[in-house]
Amino acid sequence: MPGTGDSREKEPVEKGEIVTVTRFQDLPLADRDREWDGAAAERRVRRWAGAEDSPNAAYRDAHVWYDGDEPDNFTSYKLLIADVVDDRLKAVPRGVMAAGGVMQGARGGADIPSEDVPRVKGHLARYYAKMGEAAPWDR
The 10s digit of each residue's pLDDT in 30-54 is 999 999 999 999 999 999 999 999 9
Phi first, then psi, for residue 133 (nearest 5°) are -130, 160
Is residue 97 within 8 Å of residue 43, measured between CB atoms? no
Say what the pLDDT of residue 19 is: 55
Predicted TM-score (pTM) of the model is: 0.84
> What value does the mean pLDDT take over residues 91-120?
86
Is residue 104 within 8 Å of residue 111, measured between CB atoms? no
63: burial class by Cβ within 10 Å (0-12, 13-18, 19+)?
Answer: buried
Instruction: Tell me the pLDDT band of 10, cut-offs 50, 70 and 90.
Output: very low
Specify the 3-state DSSP secondary structure of 41.
helix
Helices 93-104, 38-49: axis angle to 10 degrees equals 120
pLDDT exceeds 90 at position 125 = yes
Between 18 and 76, whose confidence is greater? Answer: 76
Say what the pLDDT of residue 8 is: 41
What Cα–Cα distance (Å) separates residue 13 from each residue in 10, 19, 46, 115, 133?
A: 9, 7, 30, 9, 30
The 10s digit of each residue's pLDDT in 112-123 is 888 899 999 999
The 10s digit of each residue's pLDDT in 48-96 is 999 999 999 999 999 999 999 899 999 999 999 999 999 999 999 999 9
